[in-house]
Structure 1
């Protein structure tokens, strides 16, 4: 399991982009500003955990 490189807590799948699995049939894979395109969120640092 991935962990935050700032606080070393486990990170969770981003619920905004379904853990990086959200996609569009026309444009392909979408980008997510909430998780900084990582597909994971830290409870403390959000998408800026890497």
Structure 2
């Protein structure tokens, strides 16, 4: 599953999520907005069946 609104990509395989930051223009710096996006993703993944 991939969401365009996020500044990262992720894939879930065998119950393990791999998250890849995709902000090379700022050296993948973490901002409060990125933290919020990650929080939302973690909450969504928490209830995913895979």
State the TM-score, normalized to the length of structure 2. 0.30
- Bigger strand fraction: 2
Greater RCO structure (CA 8 Å; 6+ sep): 1
Structure 1 length as normaliser, TM-score?
Answer: 0.30
